[in-house]
Amino acid sequence: MKNIDKYRNQQVLVLGMAKSGYTAAKLLHRLGAKVTINDRSSLKDDAHAKELTALGIHVVDGGHPEHLVSENVFTVVKNPGIPYSNPLIEKALRLNIPVITEVELAYQISEAEFIGITGSNGKTTTTMLLGEMMKGSRYEPIVAGNIGTVLSEVAQNATPEQVIIAELSSFQLLGIDEFHPRVSVFLNLFEAHLDYHGTIEEYGRAKARLAKNQTENDVVVYNADDKRISALIKDVKAQKVPFSFSGVIKDGAYFDQGYLCYNDEKILSKEEMAMPGLHNIENALAAIAAAKVYKVSNEYLRQVLTTFSGVRHRLEFVKELNGRRFFNDSKATNILATKKALGAFKEPVILLAGGLDRGNGFDDLIPALTNVKAVVTFGETKNKISEAASAAGVKNVKIVDNVEEAVPSAYDLSSSGDIILLSPACASWDQFATFEQRGDMFIKRVHMLK
Protein backbone atom coordinates (compact mmCIF):
# COMPACT_ATOMS: atom_id res chain seq x y z
CA MET A 1 0.00 0.00 0.00
CA LYS A 2 1.19 3.50 -0.83
CA ASN A 3 1.47 5.53 2.37
CA ILE A 4 0.13 8.79 0.98
CA ASP A 5 0.11 11.98 3.08
CA LYS A 6 -2.83 13.59 1.30
CA TYR A 7 -5.29 13.03 4.13
CA ARG A 8 -2.98 13.38 7.13
CA ASN A 9 -4.52 15.69 9.75
CA GLN A 10 -7.34 16.56 7.32
CA GLN A 11 -11.02 16.45 8.27
CA VAL A 12 -12.82 13.87 6.12
CA LEU A 13 -16.52 13.04 6.19
CA VAL A 14 -17.58 9.51 5.22
CA LEU A 15 -21.25 9.51 4.25
CA GLY A 16 -23.00 6.16 4.65
CA MET A 17 -21.83 3.18 6.69
CA ALA A 18 -22.38 -0.13 4.86
CA LYS A 19 -19.26 -2.10 3.82
CA SER A 20 -17.70 0.63 1.73
CA GLY A 21 -18.15 3.37 4.34
CA TYR A 22 -16.80 1.23 7.17
CA THR A 23 -13.75 0.25 5.13
CA ALA A 24 -13.11 3.79 3.89
CA ALA A 25 -13.34 5.20 7.42
CA LYS A 26 -10.79 2.70 8.74
CA LEU A 27 -8.44 3.34 5.81
CA LEU A 28 -8.64 7.12 6.21
CA HIS A 29 -7.95 6.76 9.93
CA ARG A 30 -4.91 4.65 9.03
CA LEU A 31 -3.78 7.43 6.68
CA GLY A 32 -3.92 9.95 9.53
CA ALA A 33 -7.20 11.69 8.71
CA LYS A 34 -9.61 13.11 11.29
CA VAL A 35 -12.62 11.02 10.30
CA THR A 36 -16.34 11.47 10.88
CA ILE A 37 -18.73 8.83 9.55
CA ASN A 38 -22.42 9.58 9.21
CA ASP A 39 -25.40 7.32 8.51
CA ARG A 40 -29.10 8.16 8.53
CA SER A 41 -29.95 4.90 10.31
CA SER A 42 -29.47 4.23 14.01
CA LEU A 43 -26.09 2.58 14.69
CA LYS A 44 -26.58 2.07 18.42
CA ASP A 45 -26.16 -1.70 18.21
CA ASP A 46 -23.94 -1.78 15.12
CA ALA A 47 -20.69 -3.69 15.73
CA HIS A 48 -18.81 -1.75 13.06
CA ALA A 49 -19.88 1.58 14.56
CA LYS A 50 -18.61 0.47 17.96
CA GLU A 51 -15.29 -0.59 16.43
CA LEU A 52 -14.87 2.75 14.65
CA THR A 53 -15.72 4.67 17.83
CA ALA A 54 -13.08 2.69 19.73
CA LEU A 55 -10.52 3.80 17.13
CA GLY A 56 -11.39 7.43 17.78
CA ILE A 57 -13.54 7.92 14.70
CA HIS A 58 -16.55 10.19 15.27
CA VAL A 59 -19.78 8.32 14.46
CA VAL A 60 -22.97 10.34 13.81
CA ASP A 61 -26.19 8.43 13.15
CA GLY A 62 -29.94 8.91 12.87
CA GLY A 63 -29.92 11.55 10.14
CA HIS A 64 -27.70 13.83 8.06
CA PRO A 65 -27.12 17.04 10.06
CA GLU A 66 -25.90 19.80 7.74
CA HIS A 67 -23.29 21.08 10.19
CA LEU A 68 -21.17 18.03 9.33
CA VAL A 69 -20.18 19.80 6.11
CA SER A 70 -18.24 23.04 6.50
CA GLU A 71 -15.29 24.79 4.90
CA ASN A 72 -13.02 22.82 7.23
CA VAL A 73 -13.91 19.51 5.53
CA PHE A 74 -11.17 18.41 3.13
CA THR A 75 -13.07 15.62 1.32
CA VAL A 76 -16.40 13.80 1.45
CA VAL A 77 -16.35 10.06 0.72
CA LYS A 78 -19.89 8.94 -0.05
CA ASN A 79 -21.62 5.61 -0.43
CA PRO A 80 -22.27 5.14 -4.18
CA GLY A 81 -26.01 4.74 -3.67
CA ILE A 82 -26.48 8.09 -1.94
CA PRO A 83 -27.82 10.53 -4.56
CA TYR A 84 -26.21 13.89 -5.28
CA SER A 85 -29.48 15.52 -4.20
CA ASN A 86 -28.58 14.64 -0.60
CA PRO A 87 -28.33 17.97 1.30
CA LEU A 88 -24.85 17.21 2.62
CA ILE A 89 -23.57 16.41 -0.88
CA GLU A 90 -25.19 19.54 -2.32
CA LYS A 91 -23.59 21.66 0.41
CA ALA A 92 -20.17 20.08 -0.15
CA LEU A 93 -20.34 20.80 -3.88
CA ARG A 94 -21.37 24.42 -3.24
CA LEU A 95 -18.28 24.77 -1.05
CA ASN A 96 -16.10 23.13 -3.75
CA ILE A 97 -15.28 20.22 -1.44
CA PRO A 98 -14.31 17.09 -3.42
CA VAL A 99 -16.92 14.32 -3.25
CA ILE A 100 -15.51 10.89 -4.06
CA THR A 101 -16.34 7.21 -3.66
CA GLU A 102 -14.06 4.65 -2.07
CA VAL A 103 -13.02 3.55 -5.58
CA GLU A 104 -10.92 6.71 -5.75
CA LEU A 105 -9.34 5.93 -2.37
CA ALA A 106 -8.48 2.44 -3.59
CA TYR A 107 -6.69 3.81 -6.63
CA GLN A 108 -4.75 6.38 -4.61
CA ILE A 109 -3.20 3.75 -2.32
CA SER A 110 -2.93 0.74 -4.65
CA GLU A 111 0.41 -0.63 -5.78
CA ALA A 112 -1.41 -2.89 -8.25
CA GLU A 113 -2.78 -1.67 -11.58
CA PHE A 114 -6.48 -1.83 -12.40
CA ILE A 115 -8.74 -3.31 -15.04
CA GLY A 116 -12.11 -1.56 -14.83
CA ILE A 117 -15.28 -3.14 -16.21
CA THR A 118 -18.58 -1.33 -16.64
CA GLY A 119 -21.84 -1.67 -18.58
CA SER A 120 -25.57 -2.03 -18.06
CA ASN A 121 -25.47 -5.82 -18.15
CA GLY A 122 -22.91 -8.59 -17.88
CA LYS A 123 -20.46 -6.83 -15.55
CA THR A 124 -20.32 -9.53 -12.90
CA THR A 125 -19.99 -12.45 -15.30
CA THR A 126 -17.32 -10.68 -17.35
CA THR A 127 -15.40 -9.65 -14.24
CA MET A 128 -15.41 -13.14 -12.76
CA LEU A 129 -14.55 -14.73 -16.10
CA LEU A 130 -11.67 -12.35 -16.71
CA GLY A 131 -10.45 -13.07 -13.19
CA GLU A 132 -10.12 -16.73 -14.14
CA MET A 133 -8.49 -15.91 -17.46
CA MET A 134 -5.91 -13.64 -15.84
CA LYS A 135 -4.57 -16.56 -13.85
CA GLY A 136 -2.89 -17.44 -17.14
CA SER A 137 -0.97 -14.14 -17.17
CA ARG A 138 2.11 -13.11 -15.22
CA TYR A 139 -0.13 -11.15 -12.82
CA GLU A 140 -2.06 -12.55 -9.87
CA PRO A 141 -5.64 -11.29 -10.27
CA ILE A 142 -7.80 -9.81 -7.51
CA VAL A 143 -11.51 -9.59 -8.31
CA ALA A 144 -13.37 -6.86 -6.42
CA GLY A 145 -15.57 -3.76 -6.63
CA ASN A 146 -19.32 -3.69 -7.22
CA ILE A 147 -19.13 -7.49 -7.27
CA GLY A 148 -19.24 -7.48 -3.45
CA THR A 149 -15.66 -7.00 -2.24
CA VAL A 150 -14.72 -3.44 -1.30
CA LEU A 151 -11.94 -2.08 -3.50
CA SER A 152 -10.32 0.06 -0.82
CA GLU A 153 -9.99 -3.06 1.31
CA VAL A 154 -8.20 -5.25 -1.23
CA ALA A 155 -6.07 -2.35 -2.47
CA GLN A 156 -4.42 -2.02 0.93
CA ASN A 157 -2.62 -5.36 0.48
CA ALA A 158 -2.26 -5.45 -3.31
CA THR A 159 1.26 -5.66 -4.75
CA PRO A 160 2.80 -4.62 -8.11
CA GLU A 161 2.72 -8.30 -9.10
CA GLN A 162 -1.08 -8.27 -8.92
CA VAL A 163 -3.85 -6.71 -10.97
CA ILE A 164 -7.19 -5.60 -9.53
CA ILE A 165 -10.12 -6.48 -11.79
CA ALA A 166 -12.89 -4.13 -10.72
CA GLU A 167 -16.57 -4.28 -11.56
CA LEU A 168 -17.65 -0.64 -11.51
CA SER A 169 -21.14 0.85 -11.47
CA SER A 170 -22.12 4.27 -12.76
CA PHE A 171 -22.73 5.30 -9.15
CA GLN A 172 -19.13 4.47 -8.23
CA LEU A 173 -17.67 6.12 -11.33
CA LEU A 174 -19.34 9.46 -10.59
CA GLY A 175 -17.05 9.70 -7.58
CA ILE A 176 -13.64 9.27 -9.22
CA ASP A 177 -11.01 11.90 -9.90
CA GLU A 178 -7.53 10.43 -10.49
CA PHE A 179 -8.67 6.80 -11.01
CA HIS A 180 -6.73 5.43 -13.97
CA PRO A 181 -7.16 1.83 -15.13
CA ARG A 182 -4.59 0.16 -17.36
CA VAL A 183 -7.52 -1.45 -19.23
CA SER A 184 -11.12 -0.23 -19.32
CA VAL A 185 -13.92 -2.47 -20.58
CA PHE A 186 -17.25 -1.10 -21.85
CA LEU A 187 -19.85 -3.84 -22.33
CA ASN A 188 -23.11 -2.13 -23.30
CA LEU A 189 -25.35 0.81 -22.51
CA PHE A 190 -29.12 1.06 -22.36
CA GLU A 191 -31.70 2.85 -20.24
CA ALA A 192 -31.17 1.91 -16.59
CA HIS A 193 -30.90 3.73 -13.25
CA LEU A 194 -32.68 6.74 -14.74
CA ASP A 195 -34.28 7.35 -11.34
CA TYR A 196 -30.72 8.22 -10.21
CA HIS A 197 -29.16 9.78 -13.31
CA GLY A 198 -32.22 11.40 -14.86
CA THR A 199 -31.39 10.77 -18.52
CA ILE A 200 -29.62 8.15 -20.62
CA GLU A 201 -27.10 10.84 -21.58
CA GLU A 202 -26.15 11.50 -17.95
CA TYR A 203 -25.99 7.75 -17.31
CA GLY A 204 -23.66 7.35 -20.28
CA ARG A 205 -21.45 10.22 -19.15
CA ALA A 206 -21.10 8.56 -15.75
CA LYS A 207 -19.99 5.31 -17.40
CA ALA A 208 -17.56 7.15 -19.70
CA ARG A 209 -15.64 8.46 -16.68
CA LEU A 210 -13.98 5.04 -16.48
CA ALA A 211 -11.67 5.98 -19.36
CA LYS A 212 -11.29 9.71 -18.75
CA ASN A 213 -7.74 9.47 -17.36
CA GLN A 214 -6.43 6.83 -19.75
CA THR A 215 -3.49 7.66 -22.03
CA GLU A 216 -2.06 6.31 -25.27
CA ASN A 217 -0.28 3.64 -23.21
CA ASP A 218 -3.57 2.18 -21.99
CA VAL A 219 -6.30 0.09 -23.63
CA VAL A 220 -10.06 0.47 -23.90
CA VAL A 221 -12.00 -2.68 -24.78
CA TYR A 222 -15.42 -1.83 -26.19
CA ASN A 223 -18.55 -3.34 -27.73
CA ALA A 224 -18.38 -2.39 -31.41
CA ASP A 225 -22.01 -3.49 -31.86
CA ASP A 226 -23.31 -0.91 -29.37
CA LYS A 227 -23.61 2.51 -31.02
CA ARG A 228 -23.91 4.29 -27.68
CA ILE A 229 -20.71 2.68 -26.40
CA SER A 230 -18.86 3.46 -29.64
CA ALA A 231 -19.90 7.10 -29.30
CA LEU A 232 -18.86 7.25 -25.64
CA ILE A 233 -15.30 6.07 -26.29
CA LYS A 234 -14.82 7.95 -29.56
CA ASP A 235 -12.43 10.54 -28.08
CA VAL A 236 -10.69 8.28 -25.56
CA LYS A 237 -6.91 8.52 -25.85
CA ALA A 238 -6.30 4.84 -25.09
CA GLN A 239 -5.68 2.19 -27.75
CA LYS A 240 -9.06 0.80 -28.83
CA VAL A 241 -9.69 -2.96 -28.93
CA PRO A 242 -13.20 -3.88 -30.14
CA PHE A 243 -15.28 -6.99 -29.65
CA SER A 244 -18.28 -7.97 -31.73
CA PHE A 245 -20.96 -10.64 -31.78
CA SER A 246 -22.00 -9.79 -35.34
CA GLY A 247 -18.99 -10.88 -37.37
CA VAL A 248 -15.33 -10.53 -38.20
CA ILE A 249 -13.57 -7.38 -37.02
CA LYS A 250 -9.95 -6.32 -37.24
CA ASP A 251 -7.63 -6.42 -34.20
CA GLY A 252 -10.20 -7.62 -31.70
CA ALA A 253 -12.43 -10.44 -30.48
CA TYR A 254 -15.43 -11.61 -32.47
CA PHE A 255 -17.95 -14.39 -33.05
CA ASP A 256 -17.97 -15.91 -36.51
CA GLN A 257 -19.56 -19.10 -37.90
CA GLY A 258 -20.08 -20.54 -34.44
CA TYR A 259 -16.59 -19.77 -33.13
CA LEU A 260 -15.19 -17.28 -30.64
CA CYS A 261 -12.12 -15.76 -32.28
CA TYR A 262 -9.36 -13.25 -31.69
CA ASN A 263 -7.29 -11.75 -34.52
CA ASP A 264 -8.19 -14.43 -37.07
CA GLU A 265 -7.51 -17.25 -34.59
CA LYS A 266 -10.29 -19.56 -33.44
CA ILE A 267 -10.35 -20.10 -29.69
CA LEU A 268 -13.36 -22.43 -29.30
CA SER A 269 -16.86 -23.07 -30.58
CA LYS A 270 -19.97 -21.87 -28.75
CA GLU A 271 -20.96 -25.50 -28.10
CA GLU A 272 -17.78 -25.99 -26.08
CA MET A 273 -18.53 -23.08 -23.74
CA ALA A 274 -19.68 -24.08 -20.27
CA MET A 275 -21.88 -20.98 -19.86
CA PRO A 276 -25.30 -21.05 -21.54
CA GLY A 277 -26.77 -18.20 -23.58
CA LEU A 278 -25.75 -16.07 -26.54
CA HIS A 279 -25.31 -13.05 -24.24
CA ASN A 280 -22.52 -14.92 -22.48
CA ILE A 281 -20.68 -15.14 -25.80
CA GLU A 282 -20.55 -11.33 -25.73
CA ASN A 283 -19.27 -11.40 -22.15
CA ALA A 284 -16.64 -13.98 -23.14
CA LEU A 285 -15.50 -11.90 -26.12
CA ALA A 286 -15.03 -8.86 -23.88
CA ALA A 287 -13.01 -10.92 -21.40
CA ILE A 288 -10.90 -12.44 -24.19
CA ALA A 289 -10.07 -9.00 -25.57
CA ALA A 290 -8.98 -7.77 -22.13
CA ALA A 291 -6.99 -10.94 -21.37
CA LYS A 292 -5.13 -10.64 -24.66
CA VAL A 293 -3.73 -7.27 -23.51
CA TYR A 294 -1.85 -9.38 -20.95
CA LYS A 295 -0.86 -12.02 -23.53
CA VAL A 296 -2.93 -14.88 -22.12
CA SER A 297 -2.64 -17.86 -24.48
CA ASN A 298 -5.51 -19.25 -26.54
CA GLU A 299 -4.98 -22.60 -24.85
CA TYR A 300 -5.53 -21.09 -21.42
CA LEU A 301 -8.56 -19.10 -22.58
CA ARG A 302 -10.05 -22.28 -23.98
CA GLN A 303 -9.44 -24.11 -20.71
CA VAL A 304 -11.28 -21.41 -18.76
CA LEU A 305 -14.21 -21.12 -21.17
CA THR A 306 -14.84 -24.86 -21.21
CA THR A 307 -14.99 -25.03 -17.40
CA PHE A 308 -16.37 -21.68 -16.19
CA SER A 309 -20.11 -22.18 -15.79
CA GLY A 310 -21.10 -18.73 -14.57
CA VAL A 311 -21.72 -16.85 -11.33
CA ARG A 312 -24.33 -17.10 -8.60
CA HIS A 313 -27.70 -15.54 -9.38
CA ARG A 314 -26.85 -15.14 -13.08
CA LEU A 315 -28.52 -17.97 -15.03
CA GLU A 316 -27.48 -20.25 -12.17
CA PHE A 317 -28.69 -23.83 -12.59
CA VAL A 318 -30.48 -24.88 -9.39
CA LYS A 319 -31.81 -28.40 -9.94
CA GLU A 320 -33.88 -30.67 -12.16
CA LEU A 321 -37.14 -32.04 -10.79
CA ASN A 322 -39.50 -34.31 -12.70
CA GLY A 323 -38.10 -33.15 -16.02
CA ARG A 324 -38.24 -29.44 -15.19
CA ARG A 325 -34.98 -27.46 -14.94
CA PHE A 326 -34.85 -24.50 -12.56
CA PHE A 327 -32.59 -21.49 -13.17
CA ASN A 328 -31.91 -18.57 -10.83
CA ASP A 329 -31.30 -15.30 -12.68
CA SER A 330 -32.10 -12.97 -9.81
CA LYS A 331 -29.34 -10.60 -10.92
CA ALA A 332 -31.50 -9.70 -13.95
CA THR A 333 -32.63 -6.38 -12.50
CA ASN A 334 -33.67 -4.80 -15.79
CA ILE A 335 -35.53 -5.71 -18.97
CA LEU A 336 -32.49 -6.25 -21.18
CA ALA A 337 -31.01 -8.77 -18.74
CA THR A 338 -34.27 -10.74 -18.74
CA LYS A 339 -34.49 -10.63 -22.53
CA LYS A 340 -31.00 -12.09 -22.75
CA ALA A 341 -31.83 -14.79 -20.22
CA LEU A 342 -34.93 -15.81 -22.19
CA GLY A 343 -32.84 -15.97 -25.33
CA ALA A 344 -30.60 -18.58 -23.72
CA PHE A 345 -33.30 -21.29 -23.92
CA LYS A 346 -34.99 -23.10 -26.77
CA GLU A 347 -37.28 -25.04 -24.41
CA PRO A 348 -40.63 -23.61 -23.24
CA VAL A 349 -40.13 -21.24 -20.31
CA ILE A 350 -42.16 -20.49 -17.21
CA LEU A 351 -40.99 -16.98 -16.29
CA LEU A 352 -41.00 -15.61 -12.75
CA ALA A 353 -40.69 -11.80 -12.87
CA GLY A 354 -41.43 -8.68 -10.87
CA GLY A 355 -40.03 -6.36 -8.23
CA LEU A 356 -39.35 -2.69 -7.60
CA ASP A 357 -41.42 -0.26 -9.67
CA ARG A 358 -39.10 2.41 -11.10
CA GLY A 359 -41.84 3.92 -13.21
CA ASN A 360 -40.99 2.22 -16.52
CA GLY A 361 -43.28 0.05 -18.61
CA PHE A 362 -42.53 -3.44 -19.90
CA ASP A 363 -43.46 -3.19 -23.58
CA ASP A 364 -39.80 -3.80 -24.46
CA LEU A 365 -40.10 -7.24 -22.89
CA ILE A 366 -42.99 -8.33 -25.13
CA PRO A 367 -40.92 -9.48 -28.16
CA ALA A 368 -38.84 -11.75 -25.89
CA LEU A 369 -41.88 -13.63 -24.57
CA THR A 370 -42.55 -15.70 -27.70
CA ASN A 371 -41.15 -18.86 -26.10
CA VAL A 372 -42.78 -18.23 -22.71
CA LYS A 373 -45.73 -20.51 -21.99
CA ALA A 374 -46.58 -18.97 -18.61
CA VAL A 375 -45.66 -15.94 -16.48
CA VAL A 376 -45.87 -15.79 -12.71
CA THR A 377 -45.43 -12.21 -11.53
CA PHE A 378 -45.06 -10.58 -8.12
CA GLY A 379 -43.96 -7.42 -6.35
CA GLU A 380 -44.72 -3.78 -7.14
CA THR A 381 -44.60 -4.34 -10.91
CA LYS A 382 -46.84 -7.42 -10.99
CA ASN A 383 -49.75 -5.69 -12.75
CA LYS A 384 -47.49 -4.04 -15.35
CA ILE A 385 -45.75 -7.33 -16.15
CA SER A 386 -49.10 -9.13 -16.26
CA GLU A 387 -50.34 -6.62 -18.85
CA ALA A 388 -47.18 -7.05 -20.94
CA ALA A 389 -47.47 -10.85 -20.82
CA SER A 390 -51.10 -10.72 -21.91
CA ALA A 391 -50.20 -8.33 -24.74
CA ALA A 392 -47.56 -10.83 -25.86
CA GLY A 393 -50.19 -13.57 -26.07
CA VAL A 394 -49.00 -15.56 -23.05
CA LYS A 395 -52.03 -17.68 -22.17
CA ASN A 396 -51.18 -18.45 -18.55
CA VAL A 397 -50.47 -15.40 -16.40
CA LYS A 398 -50.67 -15.64 -12.63
CA ILE A 399 -50.21 -12.86 -10.08
CA VAL A 400 -48.87 -13.75 -6.63
CA ASP A 401 -47.45 -11.76 -3.75
CA ASN A 402 -43.83 -12.87 -3.66
CA VAL A 403 -41.10 -15.23 -4.91
CA GLU A 404 -41.94 -17.80 -2.27
CA GLU A 405 -45.48 -18.16 -3.67
CA ALA A 406 -44.26 -17.92 -7.27
CA VAL A 407 -42.20 -21.13 -7.22
CA PRO A 408 -44.99 -23.67 -6.56
CA SER A 409 -47.32 -21.71 -8.87
CA ALA A 410 -44.74 -21.94 -11.66
CA TYR A 411 -44.29 -25.66 -11.07
CA ASP A 412 -48.06 -26.20 -11.30
CA LEU A 413 -48.09 -24.46 -14.69
CA SER A 414 -45.15 -26.46 -16.04
CA SER A 415 -44.63 -29.79 -17.80
CA SER A 416 -41.69 -32.13 -18.17
CA GLY A 417 -39.10 -30.52 -20.46
CA ASP A 418 -39.88 -26.95 -19.38
CA ILE A 419 -37.50 -24.35 -17.99
CA ILE A 420 -38.62 -22.57 -14.81
CA LEU A 421 -36.71 -19.30 -14.76
CA LEU A 422 -36.50 -16.57 -12.15
CA SER A 423 -35.44 -13.52 -14.16
CA PRO A 424 -37.26 -10.59 -12.54
CA ALA A 425 -36.49 -7.68 -14.93
CA CYS A 426 -36.67 -5.48 -11.82
CA ALA A 427 -34.61 -4.53 -8.81
CA SER A 428 -35.35 -6.43 -5.61
CA TRP A 429 -35.71 -3.53 -3.19
CA ASP A 430 -39.50 -3.64 -2.86
CA GLN A 431 -39.29 -6.92 -0.93
CA PHE A 432 -35.58 -7.75 -0.46
CA ALA A 433 -32.46 -5.87 0.58
CA THR A 434 -30.48 -7.41 -2.30
CA PHE A 435 -30.97 -9.50 -5.43
CA GLU A 436 -28.90 -12.20 -3.68
CA GLN A 437 -31.55 -12.53 -0.97
CA ARG A 438 -34.22 -12.84 -3.65
CA GLY A 439 -32.26 -15.54 -5.46
CA ASP A 440 -31.59 -17.41 -2.24
CA MET A 441 -35.31 -17.42 -1.45
CA PHE A 442 -36.02 -18.83 -4.92
CA ILE A 443 -33.43 -21.58 -4.44
CA LYS A 444 -34.73 -22.44 -0.97
CA ARG A 445 -38.30 -22.72 -2.24
CA VAL A 446 -37.24 -24.83 -5.25
CA HIS A 447 -35.56 -27.35 -2.94
CA MET A 448 -38.77 -27.57 -0.90
CA LEU A 449 -40.75 -28.85 -3.90
CA LYS A 450 -41.60 -32.54 -3.87
| Residue set of the binding site for ATP | 119-125
Contact status, residue 326 vs residue 320, Cβ threshold 8 Å: yes
Indicate the DSSP class of residue 125: H
Contact status, residue 23 vs residue 80, Cβ threshold 8 Å: no
End-to-end CA distance of the chain: 53
Give binding residues as ranges: 119-125
Cβ count within 10 A of residue 431: 18
DSSP letter string, 152-205: HHHTTT--TTEEEEEE--HHHHTT-SS---SEEEE----S--HHHHSSHHHHHH
H or E stretch covering 352 = strand 349-353
CA distance 339 to 367: 9
- Beta strands 239-244 and 99-100 are unpaired
Least Cα distance to 60 among 15, 105, 7, 10 occurs for 15
- Beta pairing partners, 106: none
